Amino acid sequence: MAHAYFDHASAAPLLPEAVEAMQPFLTDHFGNPSSIHHYGEAPRAAIEHARKQVAAFIGTEPNRIVFTSSATESSNLAVKGIALARQDNGRHIVVSTIEHSSVSNSARALEKQGFEVSVVPVDRHGLVSSDGLDRAIRDDTVLVTIQHANNEIGTIQPIADLAAVCHRRGTLLHVDGTAAVGRIPVDVTALAVDAYAFPAQSFYGPKGVAALYLKQGVRPRSLIDGGIQEKGKRAGTENVPGIVGMGMAAEVAAARLPKWADTIGALGHRLWNEVPKRIEHIIPTGHATERLPGHVSFCVEFVEGEAMLLFLEDEGFAVASGSACTQKTLKASPVLLAIGLHHGVAQSSLMLTLGKDNNMSEVDSFLAKLPPIVERLRAMSPLYAKFRRGDDPYAAPEHSSEGGH
């Protein structure tokens, strides 16, 4: 049975060039980059070379890049670190309703330390409006955090416009770029953001390494006590092989991104258009045009997303039903609820994120296999039975007032 991997938002295969670049630092160049003796020279030089590669990929200078272990750590450092460093100016932060848990949970942690958090809503397509953001910002707002693109519904935010609102109101903007980097061109200087978090795995680099861009003058409080690595912003011995792999992946991605985007864009466009033609009661999620190339997301009414994933796995397709960080909870996606979908509909989500190695044959095979799977699951669905009877499938059940609890 052929296998097709359509879940690149959760993990992507490692570029051969990155593997080759990492290899010497797993064997020969094992020294600590902080060591003064010659064993530290090659690792230290390799980190700084990778810093140049990563900085060039997102349009900034090398000294603006801080290496971390993950985008989650990068966002924690940005959200908590910047808020704590600027708390003398105010203790209010703003987040959107569809942020990744690394941001929303960081905001909740700050609330326990006396900060106030305001949540700015999104529209039906998952977009934050400039007016909505302007209304949420107060005189004591020290940080706004809004993702560049949503990994579940693919919507790309107008970051440059939102950054302009933040700066006009005298506050800083942190952006989670996990879903965007490696799929669309990113120039943090042109976007005028103050902090930008992203992992290597978003562009076929290794897991366990990421970066945080910090604009000149932005100095978050360090969250990890220890040494003076990463100019005192992130203590701990550096993951040299991972950083080297991230640098090489950034260099390769910078050269190949236009071709990759065209390829996966065409595949995603076919899926976006064809699935609703072949299956009734499909609800596309996210913006139709302002979305990531190769990202396709929709809800299949009257069918549970987890059931579709299992049936598709049996047919050789690896897909997702929301964020990899929340899928195992089996709860409705907060992102889908935030864009106004009913809880029952939100549990029927399917998300496909295509990669550079996918092809049209795999897409056509998926389009052939999905309809009979949906038909089979709907035949077993009590929600679909209620719908066919003319009842509201999502209406709350009536409870008797007699007996029981």
- pLDDT, one tens digit per residue, over 167-180 is 999 999 999 999 99
Residue whose tokens read 């998300």: 351
Domain segments of the chain as ranges: 16-253, 257-388
Say whether 309 sits in a helix, a strand or coil: helix
Question: For 257-388, which CATH superfamily applies?
Answer: Aspartate Aminotransferase, domain 1 (3.90.1150.10)
- Does the structure show a pLDDT above 90 at 36? yes
pLDDT of residue 396: 74
Tracing tokens 């220890």 back to the chain, one arrives at 226
Distance CA 362, CA 354 (A): 10
Q: Model-level pTM?
A: 0.94
Query: Distances from the Cα of 85 to the Cαs of 68, 145, 172, 183, 351, in angstroms?
Result: 19, 15, 12, 32, 38
Residues 50 and 31: their CA atoms lie apart, in Å, by 17
Q: What is the pLDDT of residue 29?
A: 96
Res 398: pLDDT: 63
Looking at residue 264, its pLDDT comes to 98
Contact 303, 378 (CB under 8 A): yes
Mean pLDDT (whole number) for 33-45: 95
166 catalytic per annotation: no
Range of lowest pLDDT (234-243, 275-284, 385-394): 385-394
For residue 401, the model assigns a pLDDT of 46
Class of domain 16-253: alpha beta
Largest CA distance in the chain: 82
Parallel/antiparallel/unpaired status of strands 295-300 and 349-353? antiparallel
The tokens describing 93, both together, are 């932060």
Closest CA to 100 of 117, 123, 118, 79: 79
User: Which class for 193: exposed (0-12), middle (13-18), buried (19 or more C-beta within 10 A)?
Assistant: buried
- Report d(CA 229, CA 98) in Å as an integer: 33
Mean pLDDT over 362-391 rounds to 95
Q: How confident is the model at residue 384 (pLDDT cuts 50, 70, 90)?
A: confident
What does the pLDDT average to over 40-47? 96
**Is residue 300 over pLDDT 70?**
yes
pLDDT at 183 over 50: yes
| 250, burial (CB in 10 Å: exposed 0-12, middle 13-18, buried 19+) | buried
pLDDT reading at 375 higher than 50: yes
Tell how far CA 342 is from the center of its chain. Answer: 23
Q: What pLDDT is stored for residue 247 in this prediction?
A: 98
Distance CA 45, CA 160 (A): 34
By the 8 A CB rule, do 142 and 118 touch? no
Helical H runs in 91-174?
101-111, 130-136, 159-168
Query: How would residue 127 be classed by pLDDT, with cut points 50, 70 and 90?
Result: very high
pLDDT in tens, 245-293: 999 999 999 999 999 999 999 999 999 999 999 999 999 999 999 999 9
Active-site entry in 160, 325, 368, 380: 325
pLDDT over 90, % of the chain: 92
Cα 308 to the chain's mean position, in Å? 22
DSSP assignment of 18-53, as one string?
HHHHHGGGTTT--S-TT-SSGGGHHHHHHHHHHHHH
Interval 66-107: pLDDT, tens: 999 999 999 999 999 999 999 999 999 999 999 999 999 999
Residues 6+ apart with CB under 8 A from 163: 173, 191, 192, 193, 194
Average pLDDT, the chain: 94
Q: How confident is the model at residue 399 (pLDDT cuts 50, 70, 90)?
A: low
Residues above pLDDT 70, as percent of the chain = 95
Which of the residue ranges 127-136, 258-267, 295-304, 384-393 would you say has the lowest mean pLDDT? 384-393
Burial of 78 (0-12, 13-18, 19+ CB in 10 A): buried
User: Lowest-pLDDT range, 10-19, 44-53, 192-201, 321-330?
Assistant: 321-330
pLDDT at 335: 95
Give the pLDDT mean for 298-308: 95
Structure tokens given for 68: 């971390």
Residue 357 has a pLDDT of: 97
